[in-house]
Amino acid sequence: MSSPIAIPASPSHAVAASMSPSQASSFPSPQMKVKVLHPVENVDLRLLLLENISQEAVTAFRAQGFHVDHHTKAMSEDELVAALPSYHAIGIRSKTKITARVIKAASKLLVIGCFCIGTNQVDLPAAAQAGIPVFNSPFSNSRSVAELVMGELVALSRQLFERAYELRQGVWNKQSKGCWEVRGKTLGIVGYGHIGSQLSVLAEAFGIRVIFYDVLNIMALGSARQVESLDVLLAEADFVTLHVPELPETINMISQSQLALMKQGSYLINNSRGKVVDIPALIDSLKSKHLAGACLDVFPSEPGSNGAPFDDQLNPWASTLRALPNVILTPHIGGSTEEAQRLIGEEVAQALSRYLDYGSTLGAVNFPEVDLRAMTQEQGDHIRVCHVHKNQPGVLKQVNEALSPYNVEKQYSDSKGDVAYLMADIADVSIEEIAKLRELISGTRANILTRFLA
């Protein structure tokens, strides 16, 4: 099932609703008529969408007046170097590598959209230094992961995969020994972020008691309870599920001593990152029957493509793990649903559109996050200056000197590492005057990119 992607022609309330209150405050009240902005210098914006990005996104971009070229496959570095110089924006998934060489060749490129969770495939510092923000969609699949964990809780406690596998082999093996309801059991959630907190709500609806451990103090949802340490959680929970990022301190955070603290007959679920669990230690714990089962969706090394083997060459313990009873192994499918893909498409398409037309970098992964309150239709001859520059002393003085003949209605600037970004709305500027302003601001020594929206 799919539904059309709505890319706002102007900052819409749908967009505001997906933002924090402070971000949402930059949007006008429903009574105000928002002025639709467009880049002054790039009338015909050209977008290159690779890796079969959703057709709804293509249609929505075209409806916005963008010229869109849509390809189903990824492009190699050489192909990108040849193709990108004529495009202003590119949308990719995880297979297209945007290297420093590609960025150097892409002289018109303004923005990169990663229609996926990760952004490792892009040289983020090189993009930032070229004045190119990169957008992704890190949390669109939280619900999909949380729902999968609910299924895994039941599947583990009913030995579902063992019984289903036996029957597929033609063996009828009905039994209740070692099979449990999840109702009344305790679920220990490690990492109470986007996924952990969603899961907390779903689990309580099943009558499960929820405790969680997080390095931050977080307001518990429903009747869930935050515990003071990982050790306390491990000792209390019947199911332990991991939802932390991969960080130096979370690598092997569940190893031999943590597994020993877990209750006899309890279960471990990992849908976070493969290196969070010391898998040889987990295998020992399962073999000794200290743990009654485990579910792993992520692994320290994962095959690069579908159909590739999951064997001992990839991970030296793979065949041992595959042979253990009541162990559910899945190929990193936690966030892989059609709904998550659609949300990713919507979120990234909106981010590209908001940057190209309104200059907003909210949500960019490599760039200072800057946005301004929308202009109204009454502000007909106002223009917006978007100035990306090197983060050096004296830049704002130079830019404000250039702007000094005009009334600066609003202005905001922020920096991230070597790159800074200033947005300013200027009143009563004719199109002819823009050329002079462009010359003055682009001519400053720290200039990386200056755009005008009107």
Ligand X SMILES: NC(=O)c1ccc[n+]([C@@H]2O[C@H](COP(=O)([O-])OP(=O)(O)OC[C@H]3O[C@@H](n4cnc5c(N)ncnc54)[C@H](O)[C@@H]3O)[C@@H](O)[C@H]2O)c1
What are the catalytic residues?
273, 302, 332
Location of structure tokens 């990022």: 245
Residue 142 within binding range of ligand X, rule CB under 6 A: yes
In the region spanning residues 330 to 359, those forming contacts with ligand X, defined by CB under 6 A, are 332, 334-335
Residue 196 within binding range of ligand X, rule CB under 6 A: yes
Task: Give which of 300, 327, 329 is closest to 316, Cα–Cα.
Answer: 300
Nearer to ligand X, 250 or 315 (CB): 250
Nearer to ligand X, 43 or 216 (CB): 216
Q: Which stretch binds ligand X (CB under 6 A): 245-253, 320-328, 409-417, 428-436?
A: 245-253
CB of 334 within 8 A of CB of 148? yes
Residue 244 within binding range of ligand X, rule CB under 6 A: yes
Longest dimension (CA), the chain: 85
Q: Which stretch binds ligand X (CB under 6 A): 193-201, 391-399, 411-419, 426-434?
A: 193-201
Residue 145 within binding range of ligand X, rule CB under 6 A: yes
- Min dist CB 332 to ligand X, Å, is 5
* Residue of the chain from 61, 192, 355, 358 that contacts ligand X (CB under 6 A): 192
* Residue of the chain from 184, 245, 265, 417 that contacts ligand X (CB under 6 A): 245
Backbone angles phi, psi at 89, to 5 degrees: -150, 150
Residue 66 within binding range of ligand X, rule CB under 6 A: no
- Min dist CB 420 to ligand X, Å, is 26
- Min dist CB 344 to ligand X, Å, is 11
C-alpha span between 53 and 58 (Å, rounded): 8
Nearer to ligand X, 85 or 245 (CB): 245
Residues that bind ligand X (CB under 6 A): 139, 141-142, 145, 190-196, 213-216, 243-247, 249-250, 271-273, 297-298, 332, 334-335
